[in-house]
Amino acid sequence: MARLQATYHIRCDAHSIDERARAVAVEQSVEMPVAAIEDEDVLSEIVGRVEGIREIGTDLYEAKISLSAATVGRDAGQLLNMLFGNTSIHDDVTLHDVDVPDDLARAFGGPRHGLDGLRQQARATRRALTCSALKPQGLVAERLAGLARRFADGGIDYIKDDHGLADQAYSPFAERVAAIAGALRGATARYVPSLTGDLDAMRSQIAIARDAGVDTVMIAPMVSGLSNFHRLVADNPGVAFLAHPSFAGAARIAPPLHFGKLFRLLGADAIVFPNHGGRFGYSPDTCRAIAQTALEPRNDLRPCVPVPAGGMSRERVPEMLDFYGSDIMLLIGGGLLEARERLTEATAAFVAAVHNYPYG
Amino acid sequence: MARLQATYHIRCDAHSIDERARAVAVEQSVEMPVAAIEDEDVLSEIVGRVEGIREIGTDLYEAKISLSAATVGRDAGQLLNMLFGNTSIHDDVTLHDVDVPDDLARAFGGPRHGLDGLRQQARATRRALTCSALKPQGLVAERLAGLARRFADGGIDYIKDDHGLADQAYSPFAERVAAIAGALRGATARYVPSLTGDLDAMRSQIAIARDAGVDTVMIAPMVSGLSNFHRLVADNPGVAFLAHPSFAGAARIAPPLHFGKLFRLLGADAIVFPNHGGRFGYSPDTCRAIAQTALEPRNDLRPCVPVPAGGMSRERVPEMLDFYGSDIMLLIGGGLLEARERLTEATAAFVAAVHNYPYG
């Protein structure tokens, strides 16, 4: 029977690590005393197996634990539940990595568009993609549409909602999409509205967006629930999905796994994540690993576009392109909005920095 | 305009705490440079406000930050997004507490049944409630039904699915519910099946369960997505909801807030959480605070039943009742299943320990 290969990092002393790793394997599978299990198939297949343990630091161990793919079925929420449900509450353990069998990867399907699809959308054959964000929340739809128009006039590829924009009274989703899609008519820039609420609400938001000609949306999978995220991806093959890291609380799940593997596996075409040197504490190594994980060949899934963000500025564009290469979308929000009445010019300067970079 | 009062704990030195607290207030509201905001209403109402800061330990501060209730609207996922969306990725901050305005609490509604409703279900006027769990996953439906019958014969109130039980091939939800509800026909014990998958899947599971006469279900809100959890609660007022802590990763959100306040606010009638001295690391103080938070008067919400669990045993029943009092449900899973062929007797001994405890 096919198995998932999960890797956990466990803070523990040498004396206890064997027992602690076995405890994690049990917690993430049968969650009961193994001695009380009578069924031979459960003992041989369903109980998590410690496949290997190695020391990776002082009182820090890597434990490889395999879990039966049959416990996951084909549900994304259950994948998370089996990988890290109860163990997320143990603060000595982080979920570091997972390899899923190819048939499970095929069932989830990964990005439906991914890097190549977004490149085609933006008619950007080699260069990096560009993105900004509509903020602050609290503005009425027309004001947001005005900002969008000025971003578009600056030549940007994607204009996403701030992830705080939901379906609030001050700019209801339907009104906002109509105003912004209207303001962008004829422009090459794509509006990327943020989906929020329960599955029904997100479905009707996608319908509203598609009616307005929108073909790319944003979602925060950790808020919406992974099963609902994946359901929307599966039901809307014509729509590209940008995943937002809200509530990822990624200190307990390794960020490359969380964004580059899991969100990609479930169909994110692009993943927003906190860049190093911005408002968040990820190291350059972590960021490089996220981008590599999103792009590298795995389970025959399409590459997913890395979108490093969070306090970026135009001045950092060359350095970021040196660092990440061109298979990337650059997202600058507040750093452009700071230009206020010169928003279009600031956007154009950002776009020029990306377009004119000497790609190898 | 009504505001949420959120409390964060921030690791920081005295020199930087004012700026760090302001940064959290901005991150959790407008997420852009405040200097770039032109709109007066946004500046005065939508931007998060630092209402107070106090030192609570060495390089540890409590920051009270108020957020406009208008940013939340009436959506549970958006509540989480505004309280801790991006800040969950900052590992120097934990979300410690929140007070929501009464009208928002009324909109979410809290437990539809709660402590009194579950007491009535179980015909337990004063005593604590009892619960066990069907495990291990991997067993076929008939085997699980056999376990359920033996728990019921021992006189237990609630028999819940292990949270690992989803809609797997080895015991599909519909088959499992039919078998277990059938096995319990005529018994006073209630079967509590676990809902998994996207909102549509959970809806059809509830329909299957109700058709089989089931009136109490379990859900893991952090896996299903808070919006979907709350939607099911709102759409099924006749059903009682037991909330499971899977994926709560509660080290970054204070457990009393997470379980006792948030899950209760959204309608959990009972909350499973890890008891001290079991397989998880919560202290007695944390556990007492969770139970108090779930039960104490707040926003006119019904009290929610605390369900301390995770490696409990019959021997601990008197100590737990001394500690928590009688407004509680006691859940022993593996500790009963260890009895194997004497499962009914072990269950009966557990039930007797709860029923015969000298309630004050």
pLDDT tens for B62-95 read 999 999 999 999 999 999 999 999 999 888 999 9
The DSSP string of A28-70 is TTT-S-GGG---HHIIIIIS-EEEEEEEEETTEEEEEEEEEGG
Whether A271 and A249 have beta carbons less than 8 Å apart is answered as no
Max intra-chain CA distance, chain B: 72
> Band of the pLDDT at B29, cuts 50, 70, 90?
very high
pLDDT of residue A91: 84
> Band of the pLDDT at B10, cuts 50, 70, 90?
very high
Torsion of CA A240, A243, A244, A247, to 10 degrees: 140
Taking residues B228-252, what's their average pLDDT? 91
Torsion of CA B25, B29, B30, B34, to 10 degrees: -20
Assess A124–B contact: CB distance below 8 Å, yes or no. no
Taking residues B201-225, what's their average pLDDT? 96
> Band of the pLDDT at B178, cuts 50, 70, 90?
very high
Q: Is B250's pLDDT higher than 80?
A: no
pLDDT of residue B170: 93
Q: What is the mean pLDDT of chain B?
A: 94
Whether B157 and B122 have beta carbons less than 8 Å apart is answered as yes
> Band of the pLDDT at B297, cuts 50, 70, 90?
very high
- The one-letter code for the residue type at B204 is S
Taking residues B113-139, what's their average pLDDT? 94
Q: In the block, which residue shows the tokens 């062929």?
A: B341
Nearest CA in chain B to A253: B249
Whether B226 and B266 have beta carbons less than 8 Å apart is answered as yes
CB atoms within 10 A of CB B92: 15
Cα B266 to Cα B269: distance, rounded to the nearest angstrom: 9
pLDDT of residue A304: 95
pLDDT of residue B91: 84
For chains A and B, CB pairs below 8 A equal 293
Q: Tell me what percent of chain A is helix, strand and coil, each rounded to the nearest 5.
A: 45, 20, 35
Q: Is B228's pLDDT higher than 80?
A: yes
pLDDT of residue A281: 80
Domain regions of chain A by residue span: 3-108, 114-355
Cβ contact, residue pair B164, A85, below 8 Å? yes
Q: Which residues of A touch B310 (CB under 8 A)?
A: 86
Which residue in A79, A75, A32, A67 sits closest to B205, CA to CA? A75
Better-scored residue on pLDDT, A1 or B344: B344
Q: Which residues of chain A have pLDDT under 70?
A: none
What residues have CB less than 8 Å from B44, skipping those under 6 apart? Answer: none
Assess A200–B contact: CB distance below 8 Å, yes or no. yes
Q: For testing the chain B interface, which of A198, A231, A343 should be mutated: the one with the most B CBs within 10 Å?
A: A198
pLDDT of residue B206: 98
Q: In the block, which residue shows the tokens 């956990």?
A: A8
Beta-strand pair A3-11/B190-192: unpaired
* Cα angle value B126/B134/B127 (rounded, 5°): 5
Buried-exposed string B76-89: b where 16+ CB fall within 10 A, e elsewhere: bbbbbbbbbbbbbb
Q: Which residues of A touch B280 (CB under 8 A)?
A: 86, 89-90
pLDDT tens for A187-218 read 999 999 999 999 999 999 999 999 999 999 99
Assess B224–A contact: CB distance below 8 Å, yes or no. yes
Whether B148 and B189 have beta carbons less than 8 Å apart is answered as yes
Taking residues B291-312, what's their average pLDDT? 94
pLDDT of residue B248: 85
What angle separates helix B226-235 from helix B76-84, to the nearest 10 degrees?
150
Q: Is B279's pLDDT higher than 90?
A: no
The DSSP string of A167-227 is S-TTS-HHHHHHHHHHHTTT-S-EEEPBP-SSHHHHHHHHHHHHHTT--EEEE-HHHH-HH
Assess B25–A contact: CB distance below 8 Å, yes or no. no
What residues have CB less than 8 Å from B51, skipping those under 6 apart? Answer: B5, B64, B65, B66
Cβ contact, residue pair B75, A197, below 8 Å? yes
- Number of Cα atoms under 13 Å in the Cβ half of residue A71: 32
Q: Which residues of A touch B91 (CB under 8 A)?
A: 251, 281
Match domain B114-355 to its CATH number in 3.30.9.100, 3.20.20.70, 3.30.1600.10, 3.20.20.110. Answer: 3.20.20.110
| Topology classification of domain A3-108 | Alpha-Beta Plaits (3.30.70)
